[in-house]
Amino acid sequence: MSCCAPVAEGALAAAERPVVSAEELRLASRSLGGGVMQVELAVPDVHCGGCIHAVESTLSKLDGVLSARVNLSTRRVTIKYREGKLPPIVESLVSIGYPPHLFEEEGTKDAVLSELLWATGVAGFAAGNIMLLSVSVWSGAEAATRDLFHWISALIAIPALFYAGRIFFRSAWNAVLHGRTNMDVPISIGVILAYALSLYETIHSGPHAYFDGAVSLLFFLLIGRTLDHVMRNRARVAVTSLARLAPRGATVLHPDGSRDYVPLNEIEPGMVIAVAVGERIPVDGVVMEGSTDIDCSMATGESAPQPAQPGSDIRAGMLNLTHPITMKATAAAKDSFLAEMVRLMEAAESSRAAYRRLADRVSALYAPVVHLTALLTFIGWMIWSGGDWHLSITIAIAVLIITCPCALGLAVPMVQVVAARRLFEHGIMAKDGSAMERLANIDTAVFDKTGTLTVGEARLANAGEIDAEALAIAAALGARSNHPLSRAIAAAAPANTKPVQLAGITEQPGFGVEAKIGSSVYRLGRASWALSDDAAEGTVLARDGQLLASFRFENRLRQDAAEALEALRKRGIEVEIMSGDTRAQVEAIATKLGVTRYHAGVLPGEKAVRMAELAAEGRKVLMVGDGLNDAPALAAAYVSMAPATAADVGRNAADFVFLHESMNAVPFAHRVARRSGQLIRQNFGIAVVYNLIAVPIAILGYVTPLVAAVAMSGSSVIVVANALRLLRLGGGQKRSAAATARRASHKLQEVM
């Protein structure tokens, strides 16, 4: 009774869904004390109020479950249950159409966010009250009244300055300690000086105090910073909620015959592990018993499944396709293939040139200019007024206050917040703002093949050339196997085929399927086995060892792949394919997509080296890849993107993760990034124009707190309004428009 379970948003639905086993669930649960256990599960299919209700009511009815609470924003459900017997949580969620999965634990609550929110709250309170008092001063409060108002303002501003301002002061101090500058340095100097001057004026019953300006500046900047953090956090949560592909543990068979579910990091070389069909190989090892087919696409990039017999080497991250096997671990998890990739990634990351954010580069120019102007103003007024210290310092500080980069502080984060929201709506998660700046600058895009340009399932390429009767028999045989190529043949048969009577069906893992029709033996599978001829290659259907039909397969291109690559080329970006797969496979895909530069059979380390080569040529490379073998390249590239179906480490290394199947995510993200780059530069332009007008007024000594407040808030509003123009950027994916419409109709159904 799930209203929206069929709405498979994103590529996740297409990928295999690791259903959580009871052992994994137990490992993920934590005790709350008093015999109560709590576990959190990601339920990506929860979309609306109906889903919340379905999940919560189903779970709370289970014996032993104390409470279940869905969080729709993060698409997670928190379940509390009594210790002892584990309620059938996973089974009941699957049965109502919300398959759950576990996600990476990310520690406790977000301390930074709550600090930012508290600071914003305090600054907002202070700004509101001080502004209230300032309005009275501007409208003509005199003498004792004005002094009283100034004193009250000062008292409110003290806690606000220390509490809300420390976020900026801390970051500025860090930058200064390391001999750098960032936008927080001029902000901190401006705020502190404005405060000091105002306090001095208040003590000496002066007419002008800038408490209002200083505190509302903090308030505006904190709003920008909080939004920025919320957006990034949302993307991070969405990424950590994706299904984990690496197993959490494995079933170990002990010498005495007992079996035990052991966490991954406790597996030692020499242990015997049972791997069921559909499970990933947990650590590097050797097959001991059973023959099967192994999908290596995630590990090496090879698209065709490989056979594995006793004695075959298998590596962590590969997927067992057709038959259960037992294997002997040859390496612990920390020495396995996956760990090797992590080490390569770390090496790649440390060699990558650090990117300096645009705002930091601007502030490196900005701060000296502003501070020099203030100094010159001071010297000029000293000469002009014949040594009037108080007047000269007041005007010099007024220059600093008016140039305090409120608009600049908002210029970058506001645009990036709006851009991140745009991307989020299209199922693209941006890890941080600097990733967006880098994406806007790329001139080369390198794509992995398996899993990125093509998606998992193979498709029969030559269905038309095969005799209809042979195809019908092949399809009937293929339907009895889990092997992806058998599945593809079964799917290729026309719907109106008459049923074939098969007898004595047996599957030979690693070879194919065999059955009898009448007295003839039919075999579908590896040519060398079906034709009993060791030299034969490919996949065939044979009757009594005689060839009936041979099958060719192609990998299905990811939706809109050709269109997306074309869009990138039109923008002058060079496109390249780099894959671990065989030359023939890569060539076929490259030709189809019109890509002239491609590399086949590339090892993971070589991928990262190629990134370094391109960088040495002065190229700014976007790497798009999904496999474990791509992870080092993703970390080495100037900027990187990964689909949601990517291996866990790859997803964590990538700057962007896209959830939908369509490849249009890549050009769309690039377009949004370029547009936000433009808007950021426009915002800087606005800030410069504002300073060209405001600074002369300040230098001439005409700035009052009223002028400062109007100028600051005016420029901030213009900058924010300019950032919002990004929302009008049209296009994107048609798919997600359809998804929005679907969502709306769900809501409607709920209401009615």
Partner 1 sequence: MTTLSILIPIALFLGGLGLASFLWALRSGQYEDLDGAAERILIDDEDDRPATS
Contacts of 57 (CB under 8 A, 6+ apart): none
Task: Please state, in angstroms and as integers, the Cα–Cα distance from residue 362 to each residue in 182, 249, 357, 366, following that order.
Answer: 8, 49, 9, 6
Segment (H or E) for 677: helix 665-699
Q: Which is nearer to partner 1, 65 or 344 (CB)?
A: 65
**Shortest separation between residue 476's beta carbon and partner 1, angstroms:** 47
Helix, strand or coil, per DSSP, at residue 296? coil
Q: Which is nearer to partner 1, 69 or 371 (CB)?
A: 69
Question: Rounded to an integer, what distance in angstroms lies between the CA atom of residue 572 and that of residue 239?
Answer: 30
**Shortest separation between residue 102's beta carbon and partner 1, angstroms:** 17
Among 7, 19, 96, 152, binds partner 1 (CB under 8 A): 152
Question: Rounded to an integer, what distance in angstroms lies between the CA atom of residue 58 and that of residue 56?
Answer: 6
Q: Which is nearer to partner 1, 111 or 144 (CB)?
A: 144
Binding to partner 1 in span 92-131, by CB under 8 A: 114, 117-118, 121-122, 124-125, 128-129
How many residues are given for the chain?
752
Looking at residue 463, the DSSP 8-state letter turns out to be: G
**Shortest separation between residue 71's beta carbon and partner 1, angstroms:** 4
284 assigned to active site = no
**Shortest separation between residue 501's beta carbon and partner 1, angstroms:** 53
Question: Rounded to an integer, what distance in angstroms lies between the CA atom of residue 194 and that of residue 184?
Answer: 15
Question: Rounded to an integer, what distance in angstroms lies between the CA atom of residue 86 and that of residue 555?
Answer: 42
What order do you get walking across the sheet with 428-430 strand by strand? Answer: 428-430, 656-658, 639-643, 621-624, 444-447, 574-578, 597-599
Which two tokens mark 4? 């929206």
Secondary structure of 224-247 in HEC code, one letter for each residue: HHHHHHHHHHHHHHHHHCCCCCCC
Q: Which is nearer to partner 1, 110 or 335 (CB)?
A: 110
Binding to partner 1 in span 713-752, by CB under 8 A: 747, 750-751
Question: Rounded to an integer, what distance in angstroms lies between the CA atom of residue 45 and that of residue 632?
Answer: 31
Q: Which is nearer to partner 1, 692 or 751 (CB)?
A: 751
Binding to partner 1 in span 312-351, by CB under 8 A: none
Helix, strand or coil, per DSSP, at residue 182? coil
Q: Which is nearer to partner 1, 62 or 117 (CB)?
A: 117
Closest CA to 58 of 19, 11, 96, 3: 96
699 with 377: CB under 8 angstroms? Answer: yes
**Shortest separation between residue 53's beta carbon and partner 1, angstroms:** 5
Stretch binding partner 1 (CB under 8 A), from 145-153, 307-315, 580-588, 711-719:
145-153
By CB under 8 A, is residue 285 in contact with partner 1? Answer: no
By CB under 8 A, is residue 132 in contact with partner 1? Answer: yes
**Shortest separation between residue 81's beta carbon and partner 1, angstroms:** 14
Binding to partner 1 in span 23-82, by CB under 8 A: 38, 48-49, 52-53, 69-74, 78
**Shortest separation between residue 129's beta carbon and partner 1, angstroms:** 5
Binding to partner 1 in span 471-500, by CB under 8 A: none
Active-site hit among 212, 448, 626, 655: 448
Task: Write out the DSSP string of 21-48.
Answer: PHHHHHHH-EEEETTEEEEEEE-TT--S
Q: Which is nearer to partner 1, 95 or 114 (CB)?
A: 114
Size of the site for partner 1 (CB under 8 A): 31
By CB under 8 A, is residue 532 in contact with partner 1? Answer: no
Binding to partner 1 in span 165-194, by CB under 8 A: none
Q: Which residues are catalytic?
A: 448
Which residues of this chain interact with partner 1, rule CB under 8 A?
38, 48-49, 52-53, 69-74, 78, 114, 117-118, 121-122, 124-125, 128-129, 132-133, 144-145, 148, 152, 156, 747, 750-751
